A = this chain, B = another copy of it.
Amino acid sequence: MGGDAAAMTAASQARRARADLEIIALEKGRYVSYAACGIPYYVGGVVSELDKLLIRKPEEFKQKQNIEARIRHEVVGIRPAEAKVVIRDLDAGREYEEPYDELLIATGAKNVRPELPGVGSEGIYHVASIDDAKELREIMEHKTPKRAVIVGGGYIGLEMAEAFLRWGVDVSIVGRAPQLMRNIDPDMGALLSDALEKMGVHLYLGEAATAFEETSGRVAAAVTAERTLPADLVILATGIRPNAALAAEAGIELGTTGAIKVDDHMRTSVDHVWAAGDCVETTQLVTGKPYWVSVATVASKQGRVAGTNIGGGDASFAGAFGTTITKAGSIEVSRTGLQETDLAGGELEFASATINSQTCTGYYPTSEPMTIKLIGEVGSGRLLGGQIVGGAGAAMRINVVAAALEAGMTAQQVAELDLAYAPPFSSVWDPVLLAARQLSSKL
């Protein structure tokens, strides 16, 4: 069930393990194995051809791996007792059943659609599918919209802001939360806000959209409690949720995050039913607690583990730190592990250290401001998480922090890492080391 990262990685992996399996992928959309993360770059014109986002087509899966990918086929029911799924063929308009020996649920996430007056007007888009990508790019190329309002200040919101700026569209971001990107702390979010405002993006944070005005069925403005923002185009980027309803209906256990509960082999609570990707709950490796994160890296890893196990192998997926990264124009942002707002409950005593530095030696001309924040546990000295906001070259430093988390390093150990230095790349004391040293002194 599904046709993107987790599903198709699992299918390929199962095929590698077992040549004799009959493998069917059921995808309700028109595409399988597409690069959803690339959509904002296609809309923005950074990526020229839509075809580049279509990593593999159904025919290729058939020819190269004997995997049958049925597009426009939506699973509408799971019947574990009968080992069957009920499928709707969307083009033919009929339903049929398909039996399984092993079932993988990889139904991903679904967009939260705010039920606001006027939300059904033309010109209001999600950014989730290849069809959205096509339509938005055509609008950019042929309809020259003047003003776009993006509802939501997370990853998609930021990436779409960059896309619209590239076409010279006036961009506003409206967000219910008082900051951009809730998976970084407010102080780091403020840096991001400053950078976006400098690029000309208008930010209306702490201001929920309450309605959309329309003219002859087309969106004309987004309305908040404080103002009315004229808009030729609206993007709804108000978040996503695990797409786990079918699983729940079938009696498959969900976790506390609302996503499907799986063990480290990606088994659900029901025999012969597996799940992977954005629809499943995983473990936050810093705390060992249930965690839901929607990223292609985790989905692919989980798909690989599920596919290996379905193919008779023995693989496991321990969890994730929630390492994520993006950029908007010239500003980069990344994070991993726990942030201060995660720790507000008081279960762990923590401290943080923030270093305002530069992406490389100050005298090197590509040097840009970079802020690194690290968080650690008082007493044990253990690193708990990190966040980075800065210019080109800043955000990929988060991988060192992710590796340090995996290793369970203390801040002191991080401060002593043998990191690379040359003037175009870093400072003699890489700012990660300086942040870790300062953090260590507080733990």
Q: Cβ of A325 and Cβ of B46 under 8 Å apart?
A: no
Q: Cβ of A46 and Cβ of B365 under 8 Å apart?
A: yes
Q: Cβ of A326 and Cβ of B417 under 8 Å apart?
A: no
Name the distance in Å between A406's Cβ and chain B's nearest Cβ. Answer: 6
Q: Cβ of B326 and Cβ of A422 under 8 Å apart?
A: yes
Q: Which chain B residues border A111 with CB–CB below 8 Å?
A: none
Q: Cβ of A425 and Cβ of B396 under 8 Å apart?
A: yes
Q: Which chain B residues border A361 with CB–CB below 8 Å?
A: 35, 37-38
A268 to B323, CA, bound (A): 44
> A153-197 toward B: CB 8 Å interface, digit per residue (1/0)?
000000000000000000000000000000000000000000000
Q: Which residue of the partner chain, among B297, B403, B422, contacts A428 with CB atoms under 8 Å?
A: B297
Q: Cβ of A419 and Cβ of B323 under 8 Å apart?
A: yes
Q: Which chain B residues border A413 with CB–CB below 8 Å?
A: 406
Q: Cβ of B363 and Cβ of A416 under 8 Å apart?
A: no
Name the distance in Å between A314's Cβ and chain B's nearest Cβ. Answer: 13
> A345-368 toward B: CB 8 Å interface, digit per residue (1/0)?
000000000000000011111000
A324-B420 contact given A41-B364, A407-B407, CB 8 Å threshold: yes
Name the distance in Å between A214's Cβ and chain B's nearest Cβ. Answer: 34
Task: Name the residue among A298, A361, A363, A393 with the largest chain B CB count within 10 angstroms.
Answer: A363
> A259-299 toward B: CB 8 Å interface, digit per residue (1/0)?
00000000000000000000000000100000000011110
Name the distance in Å between A41's Cβ and chain B's nearest Cβ. Answer: 6
Q: Cβ of B327 and Cβ of A422 under 8 Å apart?
A: yes
A400 CB-CB contact with B under 8 Å:
yes
Q: Cβ of A37 and Cβ of B422 under 8 Å apart?
A: yes
Q: Cβ of A428 and Cβ of B285 under 8 Å apart?
A: no
A26 CB-CB contact with B under 8 Å:
no
User: Which of A20-43 touch B at CB < 8 Å?
Assistant: 35, 37-38, 41
Residue of B nearest to A335 (CB): B420
A5 CB-CB contact with B under 8 Å:
yes
Q: Which residue of the partner chain, among B326, B364, B421, contacts A47 with CB atoms under 8 Å?
A: B364
> A396-409 toward B: CB 8 Å interface, digit per residue (1/0)?
11111011111101
Q: Which residue of the partner chain, among B298, B418, B424, contacts A336 with CB atoms under 8 Å?
A: B418
User: Which of A321-340 touch B at CB < 8 Å?
Assistant: 321-327, 334, 336
Copies in the complex: 2
A51 to B381, CA, bound (A): 40
Q: Cβ of A400 and Cβ of B403 under 8 Å apart?
A: yes
Q: Which chain B residues border A399 with CB–CB below 8 Å?
A: 397, 399-400, 417, 419-420, 430, 432
Q: Cβ of A396 and Cβ of B424 under 8 Å apart?
A: no
Q: Cβ of A364 and Cβ of B327 under 8 Å apart?
A: no
A395 CB-CB contact with B under 8 Å:
yes
A407-B396 contact given A295-B421, A365-B47, CB 8 Å threshold: no
Name the distance in Å between A331's Cβ and chain B's nearest Cβ. Answer: 12
Residue of B nearest to A39 (CB): B423
Q: Cβ of B325 and Cβ of A35 under 8 Å apart?
A: no
- 10 A-B Cβ contacts within 8 A? A297-B419, A297-B429, A297-B430, A318-B416, A322-B418, A325-B426, A399-B420, A402-B419, A403-B403, A407-B409
Residues of A whose CB lies within 8 Å of any CB of B are: 5, 35, 37-38, 41, 46-48, 52-53, 285, 295-298, 300-301, 318, 320-327, 334, 336, 361-365, 393, 395-400, 402-407, 409, 413, 416-426, 428-430, 432
A47-B365, A327-B422 known; 18 new pairs, CB 8 Å cut-off, are A38-B364, A38-B423, A41-B424, A297-B420, A322-B418, A324-B422, A325-B420, A325-B425, A336-B420, A396-B426, A399-B400, A402-B420, A403-B403, A403-B404, A404-B407, A405-B418, A406-B407, A406-B417
